[in-house]
Structure 1
Amino acid sequence: MNDFTKNMAQALFNQDKINDLLRKELQQAVNGLLEAELTAFLGYDPYARAVWNTGNSCNGAYFRKVDTQFGQIEIKVPRDRNGEFHQHTMPDYKRHTDVLEQTVIKLYSKGVTTREIADLIEKMYGGYYSPAMVSNISKEMIPKVEAYHQRHLSDKFFCVYLDIPLKRVTYEREAVYIAIGIKPNGHKEVIDYCIAPTENIEIWSEMLKGFKSRGLEQVELFLSDGVVGMKEAICQSYPKAHFQRCLVHVMRNISAKMLFDDRQKALDEFKQIHTQSNKEMAVQVLHEFYQNWEKPTKT
């Protein structure tokens, strides 16, 4: 267990790092919606020749900061030269909007149909624009959604973390599946994510097969919670990969079996196992943990 391995694993166990990845994805999606809204308003793509005789055109942008459940994002609000464009993606003067997050997550959910995307866009903009303009905004976003879930993946990741870090308590009871990978050079990437009512091993299996078909040939290590069938699903697509139960979920299970007064001490000792500089020392600390906390056998 060298420093590189420890650093890679710790990067995945840190919820703040996961939120940072999701924050970047959300920021990109919001800015994409704003660009699509201006394009639909003007009636032509930026820098298209059609702009020459319209009397209006793009005219830079200004920036706003908005708080989300994943952290603060910076949005780039485009402007037109005549000052006639008024965006409706973001509510005026509000620093936080749950509706926007739900809409963007929906837009980027795997398997969402073009009709569903159009319906969501219509809910966002229908009160401001004509049906034709709402349709144009939808057409701008649909290729981006499809391209994200069909893009070619890197051929190798050092490790891939599979989890459901977000469960939205809505009338639809949706869970967000996410796969976060770390490349051999240390770069972190959201490989893909999708929406489903509950955690289901068939969905994880479908995602893993999709990774393989899109170019991801080799993964050294998969980390996940204890969902039944996960190890077998991974073996079907990546038989040479190693599998490890997520330490966060292991610690939760340990905590649930401990007396309240013992929990913190036991968890602190458990964490020491994974901070050792080599395998031999880690095994030694593990056995000491067993000796201190293993339930006595009845005689």
Structure 2
Amino acid sequence: MKVEISVPEVVSIFKEIQQKPGNIFEMIRVEIKESVGQYLTKLMDLERTEFLGRQWYEHAQGDVNHRNGSYSRNFTLKGIGAVKVEVPRDRKGEYETRIIPRSKQYEVELRQDLSLMFLTGVSTRSLSMMSERLIGRKVSPTEVSNANKELIEAVEKWRTHKVYFFGRC
């Protein structure tokens, strides 16, 4: 990949950075999000190629499955925020990516962090307000509650289990 940039463009970027130094971090964040989104899209495209068993424009005999474009969606990653990805499809609808789970909107580690914050006493409403600031996406109080259900069940099971004491006389 060849990137061409003119001298006046470089000068204007440096002037903008000098006027507002905080903007450089925003530029870096945006670039990282785009790069991660492109990387995940490419991984899923390679996964679909593996699933179909042939490369682009390679023909196969008989009733076979074909590529059928992609659809856009956002997926929230810990430390990065909401990332736009293109999830590839196949004609028969048999392909399902393992990289980004179908019904999940954010990664497991982020869900665990939300649950831990909830367990330490942060309310679902407060978590919802903080999430937009921290990860660039507002997590609704309902999503926080749903993420905590299995954790609360496990804690409740542990809390109510029977304890047997053995003593020696």
Give the TM-score taking structure 2 as reference length. 0.49
Give the TM-score taking structure 1 as reference length. 0.29
Determine which structure has the larger strand proportion and give its number. 1
Structure possessing the higher relative contact order (Cα contacts under 8 Å, 6 or more residues apart): 2
